[in-house]
Amino acid sequence: DIQMTQSPSSLPASLGERVTISCRASQGISNNLNWYQQKPDGTIKPLIYYTSNLQSGVPSRFSGSGSGTDYSLTISSLEPEDFAMYYCQQDASFPPTFGGGTKLELK
Amino acid sequence: EVQLVESGGGLVQPGRSLKLSCAASGFTFSNYYMAWVRQAPKKGLEWVATISTSGSRTYYPDSVKGRFTISRDNAKSSLYLQMNSLKSEDTATYYCARQGHRYWFAYWGQGTLVTVSS
């Protein structure tokens, strides 16, 4: 199975700040990388698919990039509702696997 | 609006069975692959099962293969997960998800909690 490693596991940040969350795959995944946001109540919101494609309704302050084994999610200017858990997930190879998550918290 | 509503979770003893349901609305259910994804308490996400549009093909990770069975009823726009021989490590919130391209989970339900304990 492909292992997905996210960093950092915890990211303190301030409103209006630009932040980047990293995700590394144990082998190349050819841009088959997706991102999800999870709120404290458990609600999961899909954000980005295939590295850089925003799901309908996702604000443009979210963006994704990367290639090969290294990918990232960037939020250009943090809003209050962005403080949550973020997970990356690969679907290049069976079985699909998720990263361990990054907790974006208010500094 | 796409809606996925899970039900059927609860407390169950190790070795027993439980069946989860997911009621879908707001889209043509029969056109989409569907999946279950779980999250153990304070842990990350784990894909559990996927079923094709007709139900003829199913996919599982090794951790649940042979114990869990995913199924669907397109006439009722419903997805199911039959869980047998439950173990304590199956304790988790189980989410129903609509798949998009490949294993992109494009829509999620609110989840239903399954606790396996004596």
Q: pLDDT per residue over A51-103, tens digit each?
A: 999 999 999 999 999 999 999 999 999 999 999 999 999 999 999 999 999 99
Structure confidence at residue B108 (pLDDT) = 98
A89·B103 Cβ contact <8 A: yes
Over residues B3-30, the pLDDT tens digits come to: 999 999 999 999 999 999 999 999 999 9
B47·A96 Cβ contact <8 A: yes
The residues, ordered by sequence, that sit 6+ positions from B21 with a Cβ below 8 Å of its Cβ are B6, B7, B8, B78, B79, B80
B47·A34 Cβ contact <8 A: no
Amino acid at A75: I
Return d(Cα B111, Cα A65) in angstroms, integer.
29
Q: How many other CB atoms are found less than 10 A from the CB of residue B9? A: 17
CB B104 within 8 A of CB B84: no
Residue A45, SS3 per DSSP: strand
C-alpha atoms less than 13 angstroms from C-alpha of B111 in its C-beta half-sphere: 20
Over residues B27-70, the pLDDT tens digits come to: 999 999 999 999 999 999 999 999 999 999 999 999 999 999 99
CB B94 within 8 A of CB B112: yes
Structure confidence at residue B2 (pLDDT) = 97
Percent of all residues in chain A with a pLDDT value above 70, rounded to a whole number? 100
Structure confidence at residue A4 (pLDDT) = 98
CB B7 within 8 A of CB B24: no
Q: If you ran DSSP here, which 8-state letter would residue A23 be given? A: E
Rg (CA), chain A: 13
- Give chain A positions within 8 Å (CB) of B44: 87, 98-101
Arithmetic mean of pLDDT over chain B: 97
| Residue B101: band (very low, low, confident or very high) from pLDDT cuts 50, 70, 90 | confident
Percent of all residues in chain B with a pLDDT value above 70, rounded to a whole number? 100
Option in B61, B93, B107 nearest A42 (CB) = B93
CB A102 within 8 A of CB A19: no
CB B50 within 8 A of CB B34: yes
